[in-house]
Structure 1
Amino acid sequence: MDYDTLTTTMRRLALEAGAKIMEIYEADDFDVRAKSDDSPVTAADEAADALISAGLREVFPDVALVTEEQAASHGIDASTFLIVDPLDGTKEFVQRRGDFTVNIAYVEDGIPVRGVVYAPAKQRMFYTDSKGFTFEEVGELKIDEVGETRPLKVAEADNSALRVVASKSHRDQATDDYISKYEVEDAKSAGSSLKFCLVATGEADFYPRLGRTMEWDTAAGHAVLLGAGGHVVRFDDHTPLAYGKGGFANPFFIAYAPSVDLKPA
């Protein structure tokens, strides 16, 4: 893989898809439909998916592509592939809460080694560079020009005063019960893959997810966190979360700074 080209392409497609999404988001109204699993889908999901998929296939025609919005891709059996969630946090989009993201990642031998997470309503862009280190691009975001960037690194956690981030739309009692095992000073909620990014920036120390997710929901955020020095492990046995699983469904997991003393499930 040419990582320079990959970084440039993922960043550009995320910004282009974000612009398309915002056109629909800022309209007076938009249709919301239910998919076969009852999750919502909008014209923004579909438009962003078409744009990103076409762009990736043009530049990387020989790399397998998995995307949430194309069911035929969910039968791919591969350990190295591109994976896309064109609009993660559709519920946040529909409710106009802003916590939605564009997610593009490259998985190599089961590990998400490169990724971009773009939150167009918040104008926050997180991505790995060609060497795998994570940056946040700050200031005005331009498709044809990379602006000022700042390197990201996870925080050195204080285990007597931890900061946790959890799902805004999917938090439940099991999650609260697990969080209660820790000494928590601050708890916040966020939507979509932004939770991984808040750990990557050092704004939070850990993010437990005791609920259903798919690999396209997590791969880009996982890559961003890895590039900032963080980890993502299975909830049950704390082994690294791997990708390319049959059906692309994830087990429960924990994303965290290495200095957090993880508690057993």
Structure 2
Amino acid sequence: MNYETLVTVIRRLALEAGDRIMEIYNSDDFEVKSKSDQSPVTEADEAADALISAGLRDAFPEVALVTEEQADSHDIDAMTFLIVDPLDGTKEFVNRRGDFTVNIALVEDGVPTRGVVYAPAKGRMFYTNSVGQSVEETGPFDKDAAGETTPLHVSKPDNSALMVVASKSHRDQATDDYIGKYEVKDMTSAGSSLKFCLVATGEADLYPRLGRTMEWDTAAGHAVLNGAGGHVVRFDDLTPLAYGKAGYANPFFIAYAPGVDLKEG
């Protein structure tokens, strides 16, 4: 894989998809349907998926592609694959809260090695560059040329005053009980894969997820966190969260900056 080409392509596709999503987001009305699992899907999900999928298949025809909105891609068995959530945080989108993202990642041997997370309503874009260092690019964004970027590094946590980020739409008592095991200075809520990015930037130290997620929800954010020096581990045994699992379903997990004194569940 030519990482320089990959990063150029996924960055551009994320921006193009973000533009299409915002056209629909800013319209007077848009259709919301329910998938078989009762999760919402909008015309923005479908339009962004079509755009990204076509772009990736054109640029990387030899690489397997897994995407949330194409069920026939969920049976792919590959060690190396591209994985896409064209609109993560659909509930945030439907409720016009802005915390939704475009997510594109490359997984190699079970590890997300490159990825882009773009939050078009917030004007924030995070990605891994060609050498695997995560950066945040400052807008306005040019699809054809990257602008000024800031390297991302996780925090140096203070275990007596941790910054914690948790889900905005999927918060539950089990999550609150687990967070209660830590000495917390402050908590924030965020939607979609932005939670990984807040740990990557040092805005948070810890993000526990005790709820259902799929690999397309997490791969791009996981790649960004990896490239900023962070880690993602399974909640049950604190081993690294791996990708390419049957059905692409994730166990509960914890994303964190090294130095956090992880507690047992």
Q: TM-score, normalised by structure 1?
A: 1.00
Query: Does structure 1 residue 201 correspond to structure 2 residue 185?
Result: no
Q: Secondary structure at the match of 1:187?
A: strand
- 1:184-239: CA deviations, max 9, x gaps? 01000000000000000000001000000000000000000000000000000000
How much identity, in percent, do the aligned residues show? Answer: 79
Residue ranges of structure 2 left out of the alignment (5+ in a row)? none
1:144 Cα deviation (Å)? Answer: 1.4
Q: Secondary structure at the match of 1:86?
A: strand
Q: CA–CA distance in 1 between the matches of 2:79 and 2:181?
A: 35
User: Which amino acid counterpart does residue 251 of structure 2 have in structure 1?
Assistant: P
Q: TM-score, normalised by structure 2?
A: 1.00
CA RMSD in angstroms comes to 0.4
1:139 Cα deviation (Å)? Answer: 2.8
Q: CA–CA distance in 2 between the matches of 1:84 and 1:140?
A: 24
Q: CA–CA distance in 1 between the matches of 2:159 and 2:129?
A: 30
Q: Secondary structure at the match of 2:74?
A: helix
Residue ranges of structure 1 left out of the alignment (5+ in a row)? none
Where does residue 134 of structure 2 map in the other structure?
A: 134
1:141 Cα deviation (Å)? Answer: 1.0
Q: CA–CA distance in 2 between the matches of 1:42 and 1:208?
A: 28
Where does residue 221 of structure 1 map in the other structure?
A: 221
Where does residue 243 of structure 2 map in the other structure?
A: 243
User: Which amino acid counterpart does residue 155 of structure 1 have in structure 2?
Assistant: S
Where does residue 29 of structure 2 map in the other structure?
A: 29
Q: CA–CA distance in 2 between the matches of 1:209 and 1:36?
A: 23
Query: Does structure 1 residue 110 correspond to structure 2 residue 110?
Result: yes
Q: Secondary structure at the match of 1:222?
A: helix
Q: Work out the number of aligned pairs and report it.
A: 265
User: Which amino acid counterpart does residue 171 of structure 1 have in structure 2?
Assistant: R
User: Which amino acid counterpart does residue 203 of structure 1 have in structure 2?
Assistant: E
1:77 Cα deviation (Å)? Answer: 1.1
Where does residue 144 of structure 1 map in the other structure?
A: 144
Q: After TM superposition, which residue ranges in structure 1, 4 or more long, deviate above 2 angstroms?
A: none
Q: CA–CA distance in 2 between the matches of 1:242 and 1:80?
A: 12
Where does residue 120 of structure 1 map in the other structure?
A: 120
1:79 Cα deviation (Å)? Answer: 2.0
Q: Secondary structure at the match of 1:107?
A: strand
Q: CA–CA distance in 1 between the matches of 2:76 and 2:206?
A: 31
User: Which amino acid counterpart does residue 40 of structure 1 have in structure 2?
Assistant: P
Where does residue 8 of structure 2 map in the other structure?
A: 8
